[in-house]
Structures are given as C-alpha cells and as structure tokens.
C-alpha cells in the first residue's frame, strides 16, 4: 500500500461535525416518543455512529452487526455475510440502521432483510455518505450526510486495507 499518495480532502472535520449535528437534530425529531434501536454496521460506521448518537437527544439503545463483503478490495463482491449478529431484541422497536456509506446497496439490502425477520416496528437507514451512481439495488437511505460522486474515499471510519479509519476527515487519493 502506498501511503505517500496525494490526498484530496472532500469533507473536513468541521463539515462532518456540522452535518452530524444536523442529522442528530433531524433524527431526534423523527424518533421523538418512539422506542429507538440504533444498529451500527461494523466496522466502518463505528465512528459515525458514535458521533451521531451523541447528537440524538431521545433515549435510544445501540447494538452492532458485523458484515463482510469487501475484504481489502475497492468494490463489493456482491455477497454479504453477517459475521456477528445483534444481541438486542428487535421485536416491536423502531430500528435505525447506521452505516458509513451506501454504494451498491448490497450490504444494506441484506441487513434490512435480516432485521425484518426479527419483527421490528419500523426500519430506517441513515448513512454518512450516499453514492447513488453505484447503486445495484432499489434502495435509498432515509437520512444521509452527503451525496458523493463515484470516488474511492477513505477516512472517518472508511478504510483502505484496514488503514485510515482514524482519519478525522474524508478524502480520496489523486
């Protein structure tokens, strides 16, 4: 892996913080008086999910699902495995699935179907980044941070070969 490639910042730490706060307000209004269970898809969304739930002002429960579809590749294999399942009881809860990015949609489609089997009251999706030009399934997130073009991006939880997740901004390589 070439760590010396030139980086181009797409979203600064400040832009991300501002957008996450706005999403938190929107979600707080939407989930007022509901039984909210936030489901973070590991590993990519853990930073976004942690920042987001701190901005949601209504009571919530959080749980995690680990999926695998990329490996160290830049594109999804199309096959999505659930590596670690939820511990929480989902039945009757309003589930908000939080992910770092939606591009093909395969992962979120698989997770939604998996959670539907557990009889939630509702399921909605919130992503930090939406890349609609890469969509391969009919799926649009209910809430999103930013819509982006077809670029390979890293930082703020998104990795490249398991590196850069801890970068506090989102960038691409030139």
Contact 104, 76 (CB under 8 A): yes
Sheet holding 153-154, edge to edge: 7-11, 170-173, 153-154
Instruction: Please name the residues in contact with 151: beta carbons below 8 A apart, sequence gap of 6 or more.
Output: 10, 131, 172
Half-sphere exposure of 118 (CA within 13 A, CB side): 19
Nearest CA to 142 out of 174, 90, 80, 94 is that of 94
Catalytic residues: 103
Question: With left for phi above 0 and alpha for psi between -120 and 50, is residue 76 left, alpha or beta?
Answer: beta
């Amino acid at each position: 892996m070439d760590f010396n490639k030139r980086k181009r910042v797409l979203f600064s730490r400040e832009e991300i913080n501002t957008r996450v706060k706005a999403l938190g307000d929107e979600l707080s209004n939407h989930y007022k008086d509901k039984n909210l269970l936030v489901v973070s898809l590991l590993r990519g969304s853990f930073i976004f999910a942690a920042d987001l739930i701190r901005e949601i002002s209504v009571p919530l429960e959080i749980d995690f699902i680990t999926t695998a579809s990329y490996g160290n590749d830049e594109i999804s294999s199309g096959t999505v495995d659930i590596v670690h399942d939820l511990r929480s009881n989902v039945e009757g809860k309003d589930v908000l699935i939080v992910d770092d990015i939606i591009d093909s949609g395969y992962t979120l489609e698989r997770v939604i179907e998996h959670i539907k089997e557990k009889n939630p009251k509702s399921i909605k999706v919130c992503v930090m980044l939406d890349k609609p030009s890469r969509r391969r399934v009919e799926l649009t997130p209910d809430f999103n941070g930013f819509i982006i073009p077809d670029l390979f991006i890293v930082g703020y939880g998104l990795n490249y070969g398991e590196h850069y997740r801890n970068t506090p901004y989102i960038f691409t390589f030139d």
